Amino acid sequence: MARWTRARATRARAIGLAIAIVVAAARCVARGDAARDLSDGNRGRDARAPRAHARALRARAPAGASTATHREHLSTGISKELVDRVAVDGAVIVTWANMHYYDFALNFLSHLDALEVTNYLIGAMDEELYAALRKIGVNTWLMGSKSIDADAVKKDFGWGSKNFHKMGRDKIRLIHDFTKTGVDVLISDIDVAWLRNPIPFFRRYPKADILVSTDNLQNRTHQDARQISHMVDGEGLESTPCAGTVNIGMMWFRATEASQQLTGEWVRNLEKDEKIWDQAEFNTLVQRGGCGTPSPDGSGVGSAYEGKVQMGTLPVALFNNGHTYFTQRLPELINVNPYAMHATFQYDGTPGKRNRMREANQWLGDRDDPSYFDQKFLSYTPRVLSDTLKQGEHVVLEHMRLVQHQIAQLYEAVAIAKNLGRVVILPPFFCGLDRVWFPHAGRFPGSMLGLPFICPGDHVMGMESYGGDFMKEYREYAFLGHPHMP
């Protein structure tokens, strides 16, 4: 009886989440686009495929050289000596994390190891992560936090929380510190996976003080005819230096006075007003004095920050946000090989980010958890109602019927799996509407998404609400192709 009660609870939770999707889209009127037919043989598909050679971290010597002695340290604890030791050709890749994101740190460095990139550093915000990273030989330092207390600094900050914004200020101080080291730096959030070494791309733009990623939903690298002469293998920047809302999760800073001046004001403004959001303030600064004019030479590099810096915008098909990579699958759609993807535009916090990467077969953070694969599993082939794929005025109700039909099958699979003591491998979910946090016309405004589409799991299931139980009950639909699968 308890088993069936639990199964009913599981079904209720899943159906409730599907209804929540419909409520959020209650004002939608879908525009009819045919679902796209993508080739499995293109380069974009290759970038999402399992990579067998990335199954383990390379052997490392203990990171004893990063032990703090009497070196000169900057405000975030980093020493110029450590930066110089790690840098390759005058450049480093830097991220930071706390122990809550240890598996994300493993994922981050595993991707770079697979690319044979060695010039990276991970700032540890708490002593537990610092010890864990040093144990496996990672170049790290004890970054700490200026304003988050010792207990809270170990936990999930939660997007938009007070500690999230305090962490953001630690990040901007870190960026400013690195612009003063004399070494060029790629600053990356920990929830970015690097799929190609991006530094050669950045080096194509020696006039740029700063290159930035965005929340754009379309790629616009071929709008200006002058851009063609600056393309390398079909790759280039967006046509204007401020081509969209900057996302500060992937940023390249050359060690220039202009970079120091901008990041210095950025730090000062944040420290004067705790209500300012770090990302919004950066956008305000670079837009000051105008920033939307196409670059004079067509390269994409142009003036920003009252003409004090030279800046360029990275294309979203190569430096992907969460919508272009996981929802639109833009690299596949336009047949390009991406450099990176950032787990944004998702709806279930840290579990949602992790599952997005798992679904794309780009999660390499399970190296130290063989139990993820050492289970008994149940998979099934879902049935989809073909008569729900028509577009029209009843698209919201049709989307609801489409999703609920799939959830009913999931309920049956969960009941059987619990009876057999197995973990369910989720199927791909088919959705008739995009998921957005405001009323929309069927898809995220400005995106190239075709409807209907295979949607991320967090469009249908509330993974964060399960807590730690989600991985006890489910695996992602790409599980059998996971790079770490025995």
Identify whether 59 is part of a domain. no
131 vs 367: CA distance, rounded Å: 18
DSSP 475: E
**Residue 244 forms part of a structural domain:** yes
Q: How far apart are CA 440 and CA 323, in angstroms?
A: 15
Is the residue at 34 inside a domain? no
Asked if residue 45 is part of any domain, the answer here is no
337 and 194: one domain? yes
Residues 271 and 398 both lie in one domain: no
Count of domains observed in the chain = 2
Question: Do 322 and 178 reside in the same domain of the chain?
Answer: yes
Under 8 Å between Cβ of 418 and 3: yes
Residue with tokens 């400013």: 176
Tokens read off for 37: 């037919």
Neighbours of 8 (CB within 10 A): 12
Q: Look at residue 229 in the predicted model and tell me its pLDDT.
A: 83
In 3D, which of 358, 175, 185 has the Cα closest to residue 267? 175
Q: Is residue 85 part of a domain?
A: yes
Sign of CA dihedral 360, 101, 90, 209: positive
Q: Would you say 197 and 285 are in contact if contact means Cβ atoms under 8 Å apart?
A: no
Q: Are residues 322 and 196 in the same domain?
A: yes
Helix (H), strand (E) counts: the chain? 14, 16
CATH number of the domain within which 130 lies: 3.90.550.10
Q: Are 451 and 433 in contact (CB under 8 A)?
A: yes
Same domain, 271 and 404: no
Strand order through the sheet with 192-194: 192-194, 340-342, 319-320
pTM: 0.83
* Same domain membership, residue 261 and residue 324: yes
**Bridge partners (DSSP) listed for residue 92:** 185
Classify residue 28: in a domain, yes or no: no
Query: How far from 111 is each of 14, 34, 105, 219, 484, CA to CA, in Å?
Result: 33, 35, 10, 24, 13
Instruction: Tell me which of 297, 325, 341 is where a domain ends.
Output: 341
Note down pLDDT in tens along the chain; length 486 residues: 443 344 444 444 443 444 343 333 333 333 333 332 323 333 343 444 434 333 345 555 444 333 434 355 776 788 999 999 999 999 999 999 999 899 999 999 999 999 999 999 999 989 999 999 999 999 999 987 756 556 656 555 565 556 555 766 788 988 999 999 999 999 999 999 999 999 999 999 999 999 999 999 998 887 777 888 888 999 999 988 998 899 999 999 999 999 999 999 999 999 888 888 899 999 999 999 888 778 888 899 999 999 999 999 999 999 999 999 999 999 999 999 999 999 999 988 899 999 999 999 999 988 667 888 989 999 999 998 877 666 666 788 888 999 999 999 999 999 999 999 999 999 999 999 999 988 888 889 999 898 889 999 999 999 988 877 888 899 999 999 987 787
Q: Are residues 388 and 288 in the same domain?
A: no
Task: Give 176-221 as a DSSP string.
Answer: HHHHTTTSEEEEE-TTEEE-S--HHHHHT-TT-SEEEEE--SS--S
Does 303 lie in the same domain as 212? yes
Of 341, 376, 406, which residue is a domain's last? 341
The answer to whether position 6 is within a domain reads no
Asked whether residue 123 falls in the same domain as residue 255, the answer is yes
Claim to verify: residue 129 and residue 229 sit in the same structural domain: yes
Strand pairing report for 302-304 and 423-425: unpaired
186 and 110 in one domain?
Answer: yes
The whole domain housing 381 covers 368-481
Place of tokens 């028509």: 390
Residues 236 and 318 in one domain: yes
Instruction: Count Cβ neighbours within 10 Å for each residue of 345-377 and write b for 16 or more, e otherwise.
Output: bbbbebbbbbbbbbbbbbbbbbeeeeebeeeee
* 17 within domain boundaries: no
